[in-house]
Structure 1
Amino acid sequence: MDFAGGGGGGGASLSDMHQRARRLLLSVRDGVARIERLASAPTSSSYSSSAPLVGGSGAGDPAAAEEVRREMAQIQGLCAQMDRLWRSIPAKGQRDIWKRKVEQLSEEVDSLKDTLHKHSLRQRKRILEAKERAELFERANGESSHILQIFDDEAQARQSARNSSRTLDEAFATGVAILEKYSDQRERLKRVQRKALDVLNIVGLSNSVLKLIERRHRVDKKIAYGGMIITVVLMVAFWRLTH
């Protein structure tokens, strides 16, 4: 609805100001979008610590950001003038319409201003992060040889521990096999003893012969147990030597 002829000279002035403000608003939108596109480009992340800052916040294109801020200030100035003019319109309906138009312009400008401010904060954060990464890389390059040496030492220690563990496992398995073999031999000796006793009882051998067999059995048991103990002692000694 055109109010160029309504509300006296104030209506025409409002219409002209509103059209000018809308054109500036479109330019501001394009400028903010262009700044954000430049900031998201791959080369925008490589800022140096001496990069120029716009409004103290930092932006991808200082000249473009400054132009956008200037146009925002012009729109806000036009909104202030229109806010005074619409109040002088006699018709209440037209006053309400122009009030809403001016408020919409002010809200859109505030929203774009907030977007530009957030963008500037992100840019400052990116610059700070890039500077911190550069400092970390410099320290890492200076200490790389020391760090690599530490990694080599740790790798050698882990390999040595794995070798010791594997050797101990093999020794333990050998000891278990020996003990099982001794156990099988003891069972066989018991069976042989029982058969021998049965045979001796049948043929009527003397008690002295039986006692001799029992003593031999006790000696065999001591030999078997001694072998087991010696095997365990050797395993423990080997484990201590490897650690």
Structure 2
Amino acid sequence: MDRLWRSIAAKSQRDLWKRKVEQVAEEAGSLKESLEMYVSRNQRRAQEARERAELLGRANGESSHVLRIFDDEAQAMQSARNSSRMLEESYATGVAILAQYAGQRDRLKRAQRKALDVLNTVGTSNFVLRLIERRHRVDRWIKYVGMILTIVILIAFWRWK
């Protein structure tokens, strides 16, 4: 391609083809670099996998004991996390129960106040009813006395005439 663009007679087309060839060359170089990086990364991963498999394959009694210790530690940590979570849940439940008790206490206080108000009203009403009954008796006596006085006065006028 490098030889071909030099053989073009017109200068404008030669420059155009020169730029295109340079772009293709740069792109090819970039793709080659990417491919090399990909291949090296895969080789490194494969090497790490082989080394890991070799290490796990060489595990003897002492190594398995160490792995068992780590497993026990992991189980202990998981158990501690579970206990912590359960304590947090218990705490949250306790807080919710106390909040409900506070709400119930407020409702009971309001009900007690209303009951006392009703009792005070009933007590006042009983007092007022007693006053009304007394007044009614007094009014009845006044009525009867008034009727008797009116009859006496009428009889006195009739006889005097």
User: Is the structural similarity TM-score above 0.5?
Assistant: no
Q: TM-score range by the shorter chain?
A: 0.3 to 0.5
Structure of greater relative contact order (alpha carbons < 8 Å, 6+ residues apart): 1
Q: TM-score, normalised by structure 1?
A: 0.28
Bigger-Rg structure (1/2): 2
Identify, as 1 or 2, the structure richer in helix: 2
